[in-house]
Amino acid sequence: MQAMKPRLLASTALLFATPALAEEEIVVTGQPLPASIGESAYDVAVVDRDRIVATASGRIEDVLRDVAGLTQFRRSDARSANATSQGATLRGLGGNASSRALLVLDGVPQSDPFGGWITWPAYAPERLGSVRVTRGGGSGTYGSGALAGTIEMESVGSGQRLTGSMAYGSRASVDGSAMLSGKLGQGFGFLSATYARGNGFIPIVAARRGTADIAAPYEQATLTARGVASLDAQTELQASVMGFTDRRERGTILSENGGDGADASVRLVHKGRWGVQALGYVQMRKFTSRAVAVDATRTTVTQSVDQYNVPSTGLGGRLEIRPPLGEAVELRLGADVRRTTGETNELFTYVAGKPTRIREAGGQSDTAGAFAELSAKLEALTLTGGVRADRWWIRDGRLVERTLATGASIRNELAPDRQGWEPTARAGLAYEAGIVTLRAAAYLGWRLPTLNELYRPFRVGADATAANPALAPERMKGAELGIDLTPAEGVSLRATAFTNKLTDAIGNVTLAQGPGTFPGVGFVSGAYRQRVNIDAVRSNGLELDARIERGDWRLAASYAYSDARISGSGRAAALDGLRPAQVPAHTASGTLGWRGLSTTLRYVSAQFEDDSNSRRLNDALTLDAVAVLPVTDRMSLFVRGENVTDARVETAISATGVIERAAPRTLWFGLRLN
């Protein structure tokens, strides 16, 4: 009995001490509120951190190619592509450089406030913990713009570590990254930096090159700081600051493009009985681009446009509340606002190598919306549905042109202010029956025209495209059916069939052929186009995904088929029945890995450069490979190979048949601190 007394006293003390210890225990994650319980009703693909930091290129746009059907306007990556050609889309709804998929980082929309494209070099893979891709539109919880799907990037969580890598590659390329993370009081933080440069390759294929064609060098850098502080055991404050610079050339003299940017955001996350999430952010961007015309023999380059300053700003905020309704029922209520302002300042109409005119074009757009989403898990059945209403405004649109010599006004056009309402909705269900889950979903979405589409004309080689301040919002409706199989541990298979209809699709429509002088762009020697609302783009297709893990072996494969067709009338009547520009019918990706070795095969089928389907880009099959050799517990050597077989990946073709390509074979050797 005497021996039991100390044990009894200790047990009693522990019993009373445990609640106090639990109250003091604070777990800081840096993550948002948990994913909705209704997520199982939709087609979702997740890329984990191990894959994010282990691609052959070390670039986030390459990581996203693991999700078949997720494409950019052009096949080239952010080292050689024009920055304005890198909008993201899914399910064959491409055909425009502005994104039709909504990209967010820690809840903050990431598309360029002025142009809607995405500056991929701004996102260091080292700082990311996961990427979640939801195919299909109608996600009202993040705001408008999720026509084709939503791409959610989340920063890496807590940890005390120093990680980084340094690599040297083909064409005197250098690629380095470093991240230092650790505890900050009861929270944590990290500092991440990247730097990349290279002499570049010659974009024009060898058979059509002239003396005007040179390599396309690039130089890019980022710096990110993030801190997460605990306010109490259930509440944390997350703050991030990011800056980047991006410089690229396009394979001739006088063809530089790129820009600089700085973002800041603050997010409050409360994971108590009432879930609460509040976010505020600011984005500042500056874009520059110079375009040239090259003569038929590709020996002479003439400056055509110098967009020397395209500043833009995005401001916004979001609030979400989740009332306590029990573990099986979830209600999400919220509202958000976003303002974008921007303008293009450019010199054009060059005579004897000197500009003779100056143009300013820009404006402002605002959206404000509220959403509600209800999900319930009723044993084997999951039901979910959400609605959203947005009010939008387009204001202060202008296009001003003057002569440089005298300052005399050539054009002074003020676009009328406009406003309207747009709905967003989606609903889905999932039924689990052992190893099989059946899914069904339907959705509505919309996208406001970007300031770039409304007001900024642009040139690609001899072709020119005029803006259109009267563009209407794009609207999309769609549905999908899917089945998920988990026949064994470490094995998952997924298939989804979908149908989408995008009405009032904004496209670059050919209206005439030069040489000649045309409204909004001046003299054009190639094709004259304008952005217009096309009646519809219809896309039906199938998506297949598979993941298999067996010991040290792993396989991830993805395939997407989309039969996308245009319904056109009026000025777009000639496009009726054609495929949208830059939309392949088939895309596929497969990665096989064993310990530190992995190979990735990617395929993209033929697609058309232009809206009239007269310029065909051939299909391409590429092979990437990565080999990692551990040296110590903390350090490893690696070899990476991009496009190991040196396949020709065609990215553009001019009216005269001059073909541009994506990166050729690129080999990297480097050292990684694990």
Amino acid 18: pLDDT: 35
Q: Which two tokens stand for residue 630?
A: 């551990």
Q: Could you tell me the pTM of the whole model?
A: 0.92
Amino acid 73: pLDDT: 86
Angle at 523 between CA 518 and CA 526, to 5 degrees: 90
Q: Which two tokens stand for residue 590?
A: 């497969």
Percent of the chain with pLDDT over 90: 76
- Amino acid of residue 266: V
Domain positions in the chain: 35-183+223-673
Residue matched to tokens 């530190």: 596
As a dihedral over the C-alpha atoms of residue 51, residue 53, residue 54, residue 55, rounded to 10 degrees, the angle is 90
- List Cβ neighbours of 70 (8 Å cut-off, separation of 6 or more): 64, 88, 89, 90, 101, 133, 149, 151
- Give the domain 35-183+223-673 fold: Maltoporin; Chain A (2.40.170)
* String of DSSP letters for 192-215: EEEEEEE-----B-GGG--TT---
Cβ contact 308:320 at 8 Å: no
pLDDT along the chain (674 residues), means of 10: 38 35 65 92 92 91 92 90 87 83 94 92 92 89 87 88 93 95 90 96 94 96 96 94 95 92 96 95 94 90 91 96 94 96 92 92 96 95 96 95 93 94 95 96 94 85 85 95 96 97 91 82 81 94 96 96 94 91 95 95 95 93 96 94 97 90 96 90
Q: Nearest 5°: phi and psi at 215?
A: -70, 160
Cross-strand bridge partners of residue 155 = 128
Q: Nearest 5°: phi and psi at 145?
A: 110, -10
Consecutive H or E run containing 103:
strand 101-105
3-state secondary structure 418-437: EEEEEEEEEEEEEEEECCEE
Cross-strand bridge partners of residue 518 = 522
Per-residue CA distances from 435 to 171, 452, 491, 549 (Å): 50, 48, 11, 17
Q: Nearest 5°: phi and psi at 571?
A: -65, -20
Amino acid 95: pLDDT: 67
The neighbour count for residue 29, using CB atoms within 10 Å, is 14
Cβ contact 356:349 at 8 Å: yes
Q: How far apart are CA 447 and CA 443, in angstroms?
A: 14
Cβ contact 348:369 at 8 Å: no
Q: How far apart are CA 455 and CA 401, in angstroms?
A: 12
The neighbour count for residue 168, using CB atoms within 10 Å, is 14
Cβ contact 76:97 at 8 Å: no
Cross-strand bridge partners of residue 381 = 378, 431
- Helix, strand, coil % in the chain, rounded to nearest 5: 10, 60, 30
Q: What is the pLDDT of residues 299-331, one digit of tens each?
A: 999 998 899 999 999 999 999 999 999 889 999
Q: What is the DSSP letter of 455?
A: H
Per-residue CA distances from 424 to 47, 145, 375, 445, 504 (Å): 27, 10, 17, 5, 16
Q: Nearest-CA neighbor of 102 among 32, 149, 60?
A: 149
Amino acid 24: pLDDT: 52
Q: What is the pLDDT of residues 67-112, one digit of tens each?
A: 999 998 889 999 998 888 888 999 999 867 788 999 999 999 999 9
- List Cβ neighbours of 229 (8 Å cut-off, separation of 6 or more): 28, 184, 185, 186, 187, 236, 237, 239
Q: Is the peptide bond before 121 cis (omega within 30 degrees of 0)?
A: no
The neighbour count for residue 552, using CB atoms within 10 Å, is 10
Q: Nearest-CA neighbor of 293 among 464, 538, 472?
A: 464
Amino acid 25: pLDDT: 62
3-state secondary structure 137-180: CCCHHHCCCCCCEEEEEEECCCCCEEEEEEEEECCCEEEEEEEE
Q: Nearest-CA neighbor of 132 among 267, 36, 225, 261?
A: 36
Q: Which two tokens stand for residue 485?
A: 């199989």
Cross-strand bridge partners of residue 204 = 660
Per-residue CA distances from 190 to 106, 123, 182, 193, 228 (Å): 15, 14, 7, 10, 9
Q: Nearest-CA neighbor of 134 among 181, 90, 83, 73?
A: 90
Q: Is 235 helix (H, G, I), strand (E, B) or coil?
A: strand
Amino acid 145: pLDDT: 86
Per-residue CA distances from 82 to 97, 218, 243, 651 (Å): 10, 11, 20, 11
Q: Nearest 5°: phi and psi at 401?
A: -130, 140
Cβ contact 636:674 at 8 Å: yes
Q: Please, how many CA atoms are within 13 Å of residue 77, restricted to the half-sphere of its CB?
A: 21
Q: What is the DSSP letter of 96?
A: S
Pairing of strands 301-322, 218-232: unpaired
Length of the chain: 674
Q: What is the DSSP letter of 508?
A: E
Q: Can you list the alpha helix ranges (DSSP code H) found in 269-388?
A: none
Q: Nearest 5°: phi and psi at 357?
A: -135, 160
Cβ contact 250:257 at 8 Å: yes
Consecutive H or E run containing 393:
strand 381-403
